Structure 1
Amino acid sequence: MQKNQIEVAIGLLFSKTRVLVGWRNAQQHQGNKAEFPGGKIEQGETAEQACRREVFEEVGIDLIDWQPFELIQHDYDDVIVRLHVFFSYVPEAVLPQIQQPWQWYTRTELANLNFPKANQQLVQRLALPQRIKIRTQLEALADLQQGQVMYYRPEQQADLAALHALSQEQLNKLILNKVWAEQLSLDQQAQLVAIHLKQPQLFATQRGELRVGQCYLAACHDLAGLQHAQYIGCDAALLSPVLATATHPEAQGLGWGQFQQIAQQVDLPIIALGGLKHEDLGIAQQCAAYGIAGISQI
């Protein structure tokens, strides 16, 4: 017997590093589970129109600026569900209008909630790494511990054969710059933690050009870079250098005060980079960072 297919629009609502989550009634399909706002797409609606309508009906706020995030198909025992997922940042002035019982959770807390199986891909992408190791040798992948990820920054021409030979498990721990990522198949790129955009690559990218379903991490050095990263739909951004570094002695560090002042002016998660140690995650988070990255001491 052929299963029914349901087209559903989902709206991910972000406030800085937090995500809005609700709870499904016991009578609903996949009831008694956590959920993101959304519902069935009605006849005559686009997926984005349905997302905006559902968020207004369920959450009580009407947001105009939506960007595509994922398209997921999941086969349950009784039905096939296609999730058209969009995201939007909630302006601070609108936060008091959000209806109960919707609640904010940090990205790291999402893994502890009981979401339907169709949402697991979303939860995995939203849980951005809080510590990123930057290495120049692919062999360093073998030294990563559970939950750690690495940005591979080759000093010389990358060994493309070695990149192509990486397993899914290895790709799941790796961030590659756009130049190297594009040497891989689309399926391999989708397995990466993120595709990295240097600032020139970032400014050469316009809204609508990022591949839906792919995580992107932008390298930024100022507010203009962060604002463009958020505008085109990057998942997160590196802001550097925070402190003076041995690798770039000519670059003056922002310092934590200026870093915080810049980071607070955007909504997307910011990862601090430059002269940082493993132990600096706490102070980074106090200064509006989501996480930290580094070469020698992370």
Structure 2
Amino acid sequence: MAKPSIHVAIALLFHRGKVLVGWRNAEQHQGNKHEFPGGKFEEKETPIQACRREVMEEVGIDLTDWHNFDFVQHDYDDLQVNLHFFHTYVDDTQLATIVEPWTWFKREELDGLNFPKANQDIVNRLVLPQHIKITTDLSDIVQLAENTLLYWRMQLKVHELETALSALPNEQLAKIMLNVVQWQQLSKDLQQRIGFIHFKQNQLIEYQSKDRPQGVICIAACHDLSSLQQAQQIGVDAAILSPVQATNTHPDVQPLGWTQFSEFTKAMDIPVYALGGMKPSDLEQIQQHQGYGVAGISNF
């Protein structure tokens, strides 16, 4: 006998790098667990309509600018759930109208919460690595440090790119970031196995929210506040802001400095990595200036 199957809209609400989380009562399915806002579709509702309605009913705010995030199908013993995830941003003016008991959590805190199994892949996507190693040497993936992703920055012909990546196991491919142009050249199978996509600042201009690749983490390179805002507008997962400090590779570029870096990151709802004169040990200082993580080349 086939299990009953339901479709559920789930909202990921972000504010200043934090995520809104609630608690499922014991009498609910998968009760006594943390949850994101959401619920079952009503008759003739689209997934986004269901998501907007559920957030209005449960959280108390009406949000209209939604981005597709992911789709997850999960089988429990008694039920199959089809989860349609969307995300959006909550501005300062809406905070006071959020009803209790919803709580804001930092991304790195989500791992310590008790979510239903169907949400675990999404939680893993939200808890981003805090270190990005930038390299032209793919063999660095073998000795990649914990909590680190590898941005493989190279220029290869398509068949060379496919051959090099196809030789790697899935757990290593999941830690690799490619520029969106190289990623688009890959086979569908490899695209689904690569964990991260990189956008250069000039590439952001070509994308609208509807064009953002789905089911993969997108990180944009930004050098000013307007590009950070554009990145957030199209729904990327995070941004790399540079240069924070002076670098030998770009001695003619004026660095942002910590004051301006902090001003920019305070204005954003997406996590921001610091790049430019950074080393892994700078992570604490970056976080003191509202950054999320650190990216680097020579110092990594």
TM-score range, shorter chain: over 0.9
In the alignment, which of 154, 157, 179 is matched to residue 181 of structure 2?
179
* Residue 72 of structure 1: aligned partner: 72
SS of equivalent to 1:72:
strand
Say yes or no: does 1:44 pair with 2:36: no
Residue 113 (structure 2) aligns with: 113
CA distance in 1 between counterparts of 2:136 and 2:169 reads 19
CA distance in 2, matches of 1:183, 1:111: 34
8 Å contact from structure 2 (residues 174, 194) kept in 1: yes
Q: How big is the alpha-carbon RMSD for the aligned residues of Structure 1 and Structure 2?
A: 1.5
State the number of aligned residues.
Answer: 298
Checking the alignment, whether the CA contact within 8 Å between 2:175 and 2:196 is kept in structure 1 is no
Residue equivalent to 1:139: 139
The whole-number CA distance in structure 2 between the counterparts of 1:286 and 1:186 is: 40
Partner of 1:60: 60
2:286–2:293 Cα contact (<8 Å) kept: yes
Name the SS for the 1:182 alignment partner.
helix
Offset of residue 164 of structure 1: 2.4
Q: Report sequence identity in percent.
A: 55
Deviations 1:82-121 (A, max 9, x none): 1111111111121122111111111111111111111011
* Alignment-derived partner of residue 206 in structure 2: 204
- Alignment TM-score, normalising by the size of structure 2: 0.95
Q: Which amino acid aligns with 1:66?
A: W
180-189 vs 123-132, which deviates more? 180-189
SS at match of 2:73: strand
CA contact (8 A) 2:71 2:82 kept: yes
What is the distance in 1 between the residues matched to 2:152 and 2:24? 41
Aligned to 1:294: 296
CA distance in 2, matches of 1:192, 1:106: 25
> Match for 1:132: what amino acid?
I
Whole-Å separation in 2 of the counterparts to 1:269 and 1:105: 13
> Could you tell me which residue of structure 1 aligns to residue 235 of structure 2?
233
Q: Could you tell me how far 1:54 is from its partner in structure 2?
A: 0.8
* Distance in structure 2 (CA, Å) of the matches to 1:249 and 1:34: 48
Residues 4-40 of structure 1, C-alpha deviation per residue, up to 9 Å, x if partnerless?
A: 1101000111111111111111111111111100000
Residues 43-97 of structure 1, C-alpha deviation per residue, up to 9 Å, x if partnerless?
0211111111111111111112111111111111111111111111111121122
Residue in 1 that maps onto 2:221: 219
| Aligned residue in 1 for 2:97 | 97
- The code of the aligned residue for 1:70 comes to D
Q: For the residues of structure 2 that align with 1:191 and 1:35, how far apart are their CA atoms?
A: 27
2:26 alignment partner in structure 1: 26
5+ residue gaps, structure 1: none
Which of 162, 165, 177 is the aligned partner of 2:164?
162
Q: Is residue 12–residue 88 contact of structure 1 (8 Å, CA) maintained in 2?
A: yes
- Structure 1 position 266, deviation (Å): 2.4
Does the aligned pair in 2 maintain the 1:164–1:184 contact within 8 Å? no
1:268 is aligned to 270
Q: Distance in 2 between matches of 1:74 and 1:270?
A: 31
Distance 1:106 1:156 in 2: 38
1:83 matched to which residue of 2? 83
The partner residue of 1:281 within 283, 292, 295 is 283
Contact 1:55 1:61 in 2 (8 A): yes
Name the counterpart of 1:126: 126
Mapped contact 1:22–1:36 kept (Cα < 8 A): yes
Deviation at residue 185 of structure 1 after TM alignment? 2.6
- Say whether the 8 Å CA contact 2:174–2:196 is kept in structure 1: no
* CA displacement at 1:221 relative to structure 2: 0.8
Q: Distance in 1 between matches of 2:221 and 2:267?
A: 16
TM-score, normalising length: structure 1: 0.96
Partners of 1:212 and 1:172 lie apart in 2 by: 15
Q: How far does residue 157 in structure 1 lie from its aligned partner after superposition?
A: 5.9
